[in-house]
Structure 1
Amino acid sequence: MRIPRATYRIQFHSEFNFDAAKHIITYLANLGISDIYASPIFKARKGSTHGYDIVDPTQINPELGTPEQFEVLISEIQNHYLGWVQDIVPNHMAYDSENTWLMDILENGTDSEASDYFDIDWEHPYEDFKGRVLTPMLGNFYGQCLENGEIQLNYDGSGLSVNYYSLRLPVKIESYARFITQNLGQLARALGGRRHPDFVKLLGILYLVKNAPAEPKGKERYDEIAFVKGLLWELYTQNPEVKEFIDNNIKLFNGEKGNPDSFNLLSSLLNEQFYRLSFWKVGAEEINYRRFFTVNELISVKVQEVKVFHKTHSLISQLVEEGKITGLRIDHIDGLYDPTQYLTRLRQKVGDVYITVEKILELQEKLPEIWQIQGTSGYEFLNYVNGIFCHRESEKQFNDLYIKFTGIETPYEQLFFEKKQLIVEKNLAGDVDNLAQILKRIASQTWLGIDFTMNGLKRTLAELLALFPVYRTYVNGDGLSEDDRSYIKEVIEETRGRIPLLLNELNFIEKLLLLEWEESLTPEQRDLRLHFVMRLQQLTGPLMAKGIEDTLFYVYNRLLSLNEVGGHPGRFGITTTEFHTFNQKQSIAWPHKMNATATHDTKRGEDARARLNVLSEIPEEWENQVKTWSEINRFQKANVRGRAVPAANDEYFFYQTLVGAYPFDESENATFVGRVKDYLLKSVREAKLHTAWLRPDTAYEEGFLEFVEKVLEPSESNQFMQEFLPFQKRVASYSIFNSLSQTLLKYTTPGVPDTYQGTELWDLSMVDPDNRRPVDYQQRISFLNDIKEKAQADVLKLIDELFSSKEDGRIKLFLTYRVLQARKENLAVFQKGDYLPLDVSGKFKDHIVAFARSNGNKMSIAIAPRFLTSLVQPGEYPLGKQVWDDTYLQLPSAAPSAWKDAVTAQMIQADGTLQIGEALKHFPVALLIG
């Protein structure tokens, strides 16, 4: 198995394709990267900027390049001895006209060869889409879209289709009879009688469509469809009268705006289809297919079906077999019906390759040890390393400020429950209803549950789901682990105290989840019970993600650096002991999992978080600034329905966003206001307090965005900017040291360090799509070449130069390069070495995080400072004995006495102890190799 030394995440799209990637491979190799880590490269919806909306996993995305260009890129990668870790998406595909499997289903229903490819409930109890697939893609109510002429029938060489803007849906062959019989007599007269050969052909088509076998299957049905469509198109293109007849019928079916009755024909035809067009908001409350989270445009794949698994993984397994792909990252593992079964099948299919999974773990949660993988894609590391830069002693002051400024006193734990409850009741109501329908069927099979009502079961499920403590459990036909049992027991007990009138329903659900079933059950009854458990597990993950990451993290704004994917903002930072314990466990259980500090999903850039953490060190000054800014800006607020906009909580979010994301480079200021406005619009909708995606309040949104424009107006008379900039620059200067420490820790702790594209320089981005902006690689290539040349000549002189221009990010690139080279030269230490926390003593012991990695006769020591606002003045550097005084490290007994700093190339002597002032004499962090 090829274990990556260090990965580099690339976001492929049409503007950064295979050819563009080819031109940065030499740069990545020179930087010290061993493997590219690619976003999905399979055929996606046209114009996709991320690749997760796949329409065909068996094809390379043509927008990224030709097969030849892909091969050229592979050759370039292999020429530099790099590997390729590929992000794959087994859970879902795009609900899109380009998804040929789905379009086949919408045309042929359960007779489609792909009928079991997607997670569709064909027997849904709601009659209006029983036997049909809901298509919640309309921008307004169905009737309004119909009468506005937005839904149109069209005809071309592929047959009849229903069109709504870019959405194009097929018409089932049986409905051609309704279309062809309309005004058929007029065509006969135009052709001179019913015996005209072309009219006879048309009657033949009509006969075939009307008198075909009731349920033609497989090839027979497809042959009939092809014959009918081909013959009709031939008549249309060769006979002007037939063409005019069809064109007139299209016009007739499409109705006349302002005349509602004229749309009866089209509506009747639509009612016959294997799909039901609906307003997109319907999907939140009534739906009969499983989505990715709450995204209607992403329909889930039944990858648990063996043939679907092999079909959707045919190309990726081929690329692995050919040695072009050397590792896999599995997107949204928790969305799968049976993740354990999936990973077993995947391992069997692709063999001994590197595999990680996207998985969010709670603080004390463990990854299932039976999974045949190398670990997660690194969110847990991100939050541990971020947490040690949050000054825990400031928690009370931040609590007090947050309550005083926003008026929000609700404890985090209560908000945690309330926001999940909100998603259960609003955004995922249809999914909960579907789960309750299964539960009702099970309950009706036993006298213990036959009296349970749908209302009671839904209320019980809603409460239990909102309280679920982890993303999901992994119960399957093989049973449940002790961890899963404890999570289930925990949530049942907590739920029991909240719904005393529904204890019978809750007890019934408990037995189902713990697989404590009656011995007398039939195989079908057992299957249904297991299906309920598996379905519930598929719902807890999306609920946690939407309720916490995509709602609560935009509501609870005490310190935004903690509001990160997989994070726990209710905890104000973590201790160094917890950080070391985490790393020790990882070095044993998952030594090759990924370590990330930025991903395509993170809420803000890694260096924006580093800035915000500085605020935790200066709570009094932060409070004074917020009060001053708010006083200055109170006259800039709009009045919307008698209240000032933005609300205090959103204003507090805004100020933190500015501190974290304000550019180092003034040339970026011109685009910054627009970027902030886009981000804040997304944030207030995600918060779902004053506006929301489902119910936008345009007055509030416009008022907030006008406030932003006024506050950030680039004029000399702008009092806010005069107050803001000096403070922001001071925070930014300290945050650079946080960033350097964070960088060092990522590349030296147990695991495979990942660099998200472009973050080798400062990363002050906001949430997607802001974090997918173009990366200036020419600048980075030039910077790296300059760094390599000058480091070889005089590294200390180079460091002085980097300090003098630290705002350009070269100092971070320098550190990244130097540490990656050390990792390359001492790979066994970093991939296999023990992890040894080092004791720090002396005056500033709490300001240092240090550990050793040891393998054989080699050892490395990483030294990362933190909390520097109390050690050095603005503009000063945390270097030398005059700063660090008597602070020192206690070295392991087997430690050597001679060390070389991989960053500065300086030699250091130590005899049992190591003075921090000596180790950090020339650079703010150190990586010692001995």
Structure 2
Amino acid sequence: MKPVPTATYRIQFGPAFTFQHLKEVVPFLRRMGISCIYASPIFKARRGSTHGYDVVDFSEINPELGGREGFESLMDEIRRHGMSWLQDMVPNHMAYSAQNRFLVDVGENGPNSRYFDFFDVEWDHPYEGIRGRVLAPFLGSFYGECLEKGEIQLVFDERGFAVRYYDMRFPLRIESYADLLTYRLGSLRGKLPPDEPDFIKLHGILGILYVLRTLPSGAISDERYDQIRFIKIMLWELCNRNPEIRSFMDETIRVLNDRPAREESVRFMERLLGDQHYRLAHWKVAAEEINYRRFFNINELISLRMENPKGFDYVHSLLLELIEEGSVSGLRIDHIDGLFDPSRYLTKLHESTGGVYTVVEKILAFGESIPEFWPVAGTTGYDFLNIVNGLFCDSRNAKVFDRIYSRFAGGPLSFDGIVFEQKKLIAERRMAGDVENLAHIIKKISDRYMRGSDLTMLGIRRAVVQVLARFPVYRTYFNGNSFRPEDREFIRSTLERAREEDPDLVHEFHFLDQLHDPEFVDGLPEEDRSEWLNAIMRFQQLTAPLMAKGFEDTALYVYNRLLSLNEVGGSPDRFGIHARVFHEFNQRRRASHPHSMSTTSTHDTKRGEDVRARINVLSEVPGEWERRLRVWSKLNAGFKTVVDGKRVPDPNVEYALYQTILGAFPFGVDALLSDLASRRKETMASPRADAYEDFVDRMKAYAVKAVREAKTHTSWLLPDPDYESAVTSFIEAVLRLDAENRFLREFLPFQKKIAFFGVWNSLSQVLLKTASPGVPDFYQGTELWDLNLVDPDNRRPVDFAQREALLNDIIARADEDILSLMADLLAAKEDGRVKLFAIHRALGARRRKAGLFDEGTYVPLKVKGKHRGSVIAFARRHGETWSIAVAPRFLVDLVKEGDLPLGKAVWKDTTLVLPPLCREPWEDAISGQILARERFLPVGEVFEHFPAALLINGT
């Protein structure tokens, strides 16, 4: 494997943040301690894309970001600072857009297109309406209505003929040009003599078109493309050169677009569109009938077939060039579970890249691991995120929180049941077409076998839904060559549970079990084996998007017991973890994937790392939390609105809103309210007041997204404006910036307490991420307090100039008097400098001792004394060099709000038991203090000046 990054920094590119913007930031990032830029997709995306995942051309660097020239200039700056580049790669899908020239080519040429097999389309679909035609589900109304009203417009330009639906453009197959050119050709004969050269050329074009119609399906040739190019160029020249031909073309288009008044035009356009390689349809059709694979259930993202060698080569050609020239030195593979065969893809990628550092975006269930045969460094770090987050949730109060949630919100306590119901809902309503396609594949196989011939399509579909909804992990990885026993166990245990719950489908479940039996499949004839493997692969390919939509994007917004646990890859029903579990995780990681990413925030997390750190504090104060809930609910009862006979928001949503407000609430609002109470009018127009109003707007936007994702009262497909308005009105009322706002006056003291203790959780999280096995990853802007919510909130602009100025001051003052600096940072912790300081100091140690943190063994440390449960400590060893990371947690009962968790008076007899072989003295990489202790190290001494320590010996 090529060189491993010391620390990565995720950058979200877009029109508002380009290569030039990053170029200006590189010196700051390097000085902070970052060794590698972790870049969002940079290939040409749909115009205006804010994320880059809607790629339209993999062979070009996005011109909106600066293009190839801008990228090369940026790389010069990257290299000058000794940094590397890790590229986020999207092999699973592209944008379903007219800007996607490959998809346009398929639309024009169908099976005669060079790119016909690039996209994951079932051309031979059982439904006649989409057989041989890819569904295009983008119409706002039923197809017939859009056609009759003239909303689907015929257009012609230098690119040829197409139909346009508002801002969407769909090309016409080249053979259809003949129908359009001959529709009113008689009207042109009276205006141009038969021997007129332009008229003869027009007839020549018709001759070529008729020849093209006689070519067999699937005939792909350069000659065909040359003829198409000639036809388009000649038609455009004729229109621009000859006024009569231009008038003929314009009038033909006008007549055919004047459909409300011309029945004949409707019939012609219906025939014309029925002859295309795509079928325009209402967007809701895709939920139930679809013949192309999407990214999750997003119609605008059409999936690719990476198992197609030509498709693989196209998608990766420029990427491999950038790797060869040394610009890209690492890869992050997006949505690995969406690919037909992830294992083979990764093997081919490894061979093609020469083994560059590669991580996969893979969501792991608790205790699950990635396949050992994958040639990757590890994952993007959601597994680490959820493990380290669980350390700060006090598991002793799990049952208490169950009661609180149930009493206040009537919340369902079976998270597993919620996940099942939501996945089943998605399978039956939002992805029914995908399930139907899989059921057809299985039905086709079952009809040929004695034990499957009596299975009906309805029964198979029901059984598939049950198994998909109960499936416990994102995906299994059986492909005929590689096999994991745990994958087989996932299938068996799921089927066993499904049989218990729905015994009427016992025969269908038995067939699904046989379908996934490697021994049975291996014994089949080659032709049959290929079909069975295809069915297995398609089943596996569907489990991941269904889990993502049912679990991540639905269940996590329904079950609200403690929102800090509701994270991608998380287990909201697992209320905190024991320190032993954290250490065991790190030991396994050190042994199997020591260079996996360790992240705490990403562009996809449901809330920022410091929001989670705050909400976790609630687990330490369940009694006070419940008392506050009751008070707030009474104070705010009058702000609820009755919608359809019910008061909105309901208790479950209200419960979640209070947690979210606590977690994301900005610092300094108490001072703002104090100013308002004293009638300081300038406060109303101050930057702080503007920032608070921005926070209220963000909360409203988040609330609308959250209730739509929950799909209980409103949804993205069927939004309920009245319900959503009632929720946002409630937020406006309870967060009204007014000195007389009783809720805010009652809320702020508790919020300040939660924020105060959240700070210490956040600093501990920074230390644990930096010192643990793995590559620490930092999401843009999180070097100061990350109080963002789910996207798009977490993709707002980052003030890098502010951060650079703060870091420069921190570095200069640390050189002069680090103890004075730390005292100042802790006193003014609200401004976030203390977090930036901790990151900079910890990353500095990691850079200086790269071998220790890259390869060092992992040793959990024993803690003795009164507050041993409030300390997490472990050592790393590489030769004679040791490090010891010490981080506090659960501090509510140790210190009063406002007091720092420092010194012997706080930590009493709490002591670290050091490994017998390590040598002293120890230098704390964060505070700079020297500690000379051999076997026992008092935590009060370790935390004398700063509430987190990274001790390194022999420095």
TM-score norm. by structure 1 comes to: 0.98
Q: How does 1:484-523 map to 2 (within 5 A)?
A: 484-517=487-520, 521-523=524-526
* Partner in structure 1 of residue 189 of structure 2: 188
Of 545, 553, 556, which residue of structure 1 is paired with 2:556?
Answer: 553
- Shift of the 518–922 alpha-carbon distance from structure 1 to 2, 3 Å rule, reads closer
Give the whole-Å Cα distance in 2 for the aligned partners of 1:682 and 1:509: 37
Q: Deviations over 1:395-421 (max 9, x none)?
A: 112111111111123511111211111
Contact in 2 for aligned 1:412/1:556 (Cα 8 Å):
yes
* Partner in structure 2 of residue 456 of structure 1: 459
- Shift of the 682–448 alpha-carbon distance from structure 1 to 2, 3 Å rule, reads same
Of 816, 819, 834, which residue of structure 1 is paired with 2:842?
Answer: 819
* Partner in structure 1 of residue 685 of structure 2: none
* Partner in structure 1 of residue 914 of structure 2: 891
Q: How does 1:83-102 map to 2 (within 5 A)?
A: 83-102=84-103
Contact in 2 for aligned 1:285/1:427 (Cα 8 Å):
yes
Give the whole-Å Cα distance in 1 for the aligned partners of 2:227 and 2:358: 45
Deviates more, 1:518-527 or 1:431-440: 518-527
Give the whole-Å Cα distance in 2 for the aligned partners of 1:479 and 1:86: 28
* Partner in structure 1 of residue 676 of structure 2: none
Of 610, 616, 619, which residue of structure 2 is paired with 1:616?
Answer: 619
* Partner in structure 2 of residue 201 of structure 1: 201
Give the whole-Å Cα distance in 1 for the aligned partners of 2:300 and 2:109: 20
- Shift of the 518–547 alpha-carbon distance from structure 1 to 2, 3 Å rule, reads closer
Q: Deviations over 1:873-919 (max 9, x none)?
A: 11100000100011111111112232111111111121311101110
Q: How does 1:644-683 map to 2 (within 5 A)?
A: 644-664=647-667, 667=688, 668-683=691-706
* Partner in structure 2 of residue 866 of structure 1: 889
* Partner in structure 1 of residue 672 of structure 2: none
- Shift of the 258–901 alpha-carbon distance from structure 1 to 2, 3 Å rule, reads farther
Deviates more, 1:201-210 or 1:613-622: 201-210
- 2:371 aligns to what SS in structure 1? coil
* Partner in structure 1 of residue 440 of structure 2: 437
Q: Deviations over 1:693-729 (max 9, x none)?
A: 1221222111111211222221222211111222111
- 2:124 aligns to what SS in structure 1? coil
Residue 479 of structure 1, CA deviation:
4.5
- 2:788 aligns to what SS in structure 1? coil
Q: How does 1:834-845 map to 2 (within 5 A)?
A: 834-845=857-868
Give the whole-Å Cα distance in 1 for the aligned partners of 2:593 and 2:264: 66
* Partner in structure 2 of residue 229 of structure 1: 232
Q: Which amino acid aligns with 2:340?
A: Y
Give the whole-Å Cα distance in 2 for the aligned partners of 1:888 and 1:661: 35
Matched, 1:298 2:321: no
Q: Deviations over 1:110-150 (max 9, x none)?
A: 11000000100000011111100001112222223333432
Q: How does 1:331-730 map to 2 (within 5 A)?
A: 331-517=334-520, 521-664=524-667, 667=688, 668-730=691-753
Residue 256 of structure 1, CA deviation:
4.2
Q: Deviations over 1:74-118 (max 9, x none)?
A: 111111110111110111111111111111001111110000001
Q: Deviations over 1:257-300 (max 9, x none)?
A: 47776533323221111001111111111110001111111111
Q: Deviations over 1:510-529 (max 9, x none)?
A: 11111343788443221111
Give the whole-Å Cα distance in 2 for the aligned partners of 1:287 and 1:633: 46
Give the whole-Å Cα distance in 1 for the aligned partners of 2:423 and 2:460: 18
- 1:517 aligns to what SS in structure 2? helix
Matched, 1:135 2:136: yes
* Partner in structure 1 of residue 28 of structure 2: 27
Residue 229 of structure 1, CA deviation:
1.7
Contact in 2 for aligned 1:56/1:99 (Cα 8 Å):
yes
Matched, 1:789 2:792: no
Residue 190 of structure 1, CA deviation:
2.5
* Partner in structure 1 of residue 674 of structure 2: none
- Which structure 2 residue ranges, 5 or more long, are not aligned? 670-687
Give the whole-Å Cα distance in 2 for the aligned partners of 1:518 and 1:828: 46
Deviates more, 1:564-573 or 1:895-904: 895-904
Residue 231 of structure 1, CA deviation:
2.0
- Shift of the 356–518 alpha-carbon distance from structure 1 to 2, 3 Å rule, reads closer
* Partner in structure 1 of residue 852 of structure 2: 829
Task: Name the count of aligned residue pairs.
Answer: 929
Residue 196 of structure 1, CA deviation:
3.5
Q: Which amino acid aligns with 1:156?
A: D
Deviates more, 1:365-374 or 1:375-384: 365-374
- Shift of the 712–149 alpha-carbon distance from structure 1 to 2, 3 Å rule, reads farther
**Percent identical:** 52
Give the whole-Å Cα distance in 2 for the aligned partners of 1:518 and 1:702: 55
Give the whole-Å Cα distance in 2 for the aligned partners of 1:160 and 1:11: 37
Contact in 2 for aligned 1:897/1:912 (Cα 8 Å):
no
Residue 592 of structure 1, CA deviation:
0.6
Contact in 1 for aligned 2:480/2:518 (Cα 8 Å):
no
- Shift of the 260–395 alpha-carbon distance from structure 1 to 2, 3 Å rule, reads farther
Of 321, 325, 328, which residue of structure 1 is paired with 2:324?
Answer: 321
Deviates more, 1:113-122 or 1:823-832: 823-832
Contact in 2 for aligned 1:488/1:514 (Cα 8 Å):
no
* Partner in structure 2 of residue 48 of structure 1: 49
- 2:102 aligns to what SS in structure 1? helix
* Partner in structure 1 of residue 939 of structure 2: 916
Contact in 2 for aligned 1:479/1:515 (Cα 8 Å):
no
Give the whole-Å Cα distance in 1 for the aligned partners of 2:522 and 2:643: 63
Contact in 1 for aligned 2:419/2:555 (Cα 8 Å):
yes
Deviates more, 1:539-548 or 1:825-834: 825-834
Give the whole-Å Cα distance in 2 for the aligned partners of 1:55 and 1:229: 22
Give the whole-Å Cα distance in 1 for the aligned partners of 2:261 and 2:628: 58
- 1:56 aligns to what SS in structure 2? strand
Give the whole-Å Cα distance in 1 for the aligned partners of 2:819 and 2:743: 40
Give the whole-Å Cα distance in 2 for the aligned partners of 1:698 and 1:260: 37
- Shift of the 393–248 alpha-carbon distance from structure 1 to 2, 3 Å rule, reads same
- 1:117 aligns to what SS in structure 2? coil
Give the whole-Å Cα distance in 2 for the aligned partners of 1:34 and 1:254: 58
Contact in 1 for aligned 2:880/2:918 (Cα 8 Å):
no
Q: Deviations over 1:645-667 (max 9, x none)?
A: 11111111111110111112552
Contact in 1 for aligned 2:307/2:345 (Cα 8 Å):
yes
Q: Which amino acid aligns with 2:95?
A: A
Contact in 2 for aligned 1:673/1:709 (Cα 8 Å):
yes
Of 797, 801, 824, which residue of structure 2 is paired with 1:801?
Answer: 824
- 1:390 aligns to what SS in structure 2? coil
Deviates more, 1:236-245 or 1:703-712: 703-712
Deviates more, 1:599-608 or 1:703-712: 703-712
Q: Which amino acid aligns with 2:354?
A: G
Contact in 1 for aligned 2:4/2:357 (Cα 8 Å):
yes
Give the whole-Å Cα distance in 2 for the aligned partners of 1:391 and 1:261: 72
Give the whole-Å Cα distance in 2 for the aligned partners of 1:604 and 1:835: 30
* Partner in structure 2 of residue 739 of structure 1: 762
Of 242, 245, 248, which residue of structure 1 is paired with 2:251?
Answer: 248
- Which structure 1 residue ranges, 5 or more long, are not aligned? none
* Partner in structure 1 of residue 901 of structure 2: 878
Residue 41 of structure 1, CA deviation:
0.6
Structure 1 runs of 4+ with >6 Å offset: 258-261
Q: Which amino acid aligns with 1:7?
A: T
Deviates more, 1:35-44 or 1:666-675: 666-675
Q: Deviations over 1:503-547 (max 9, x none)?
A: 112111111111343788443221111000000000001111111
Q: Which amino acid aligns with 2:872?
A: V
Residue 354 of structure 1, CA deviation:
0.6
Contact in 2 for aligned 1:176/1:209 (Cα 8 Å):
yes
- 1:868 aligns to what SS in structure 2? coil
TM-score norm. by structure 2 comes to: 0.96
Give the whole-Å Cα distance in 2 for the aligned partners of 1:720 and 1:885: 39
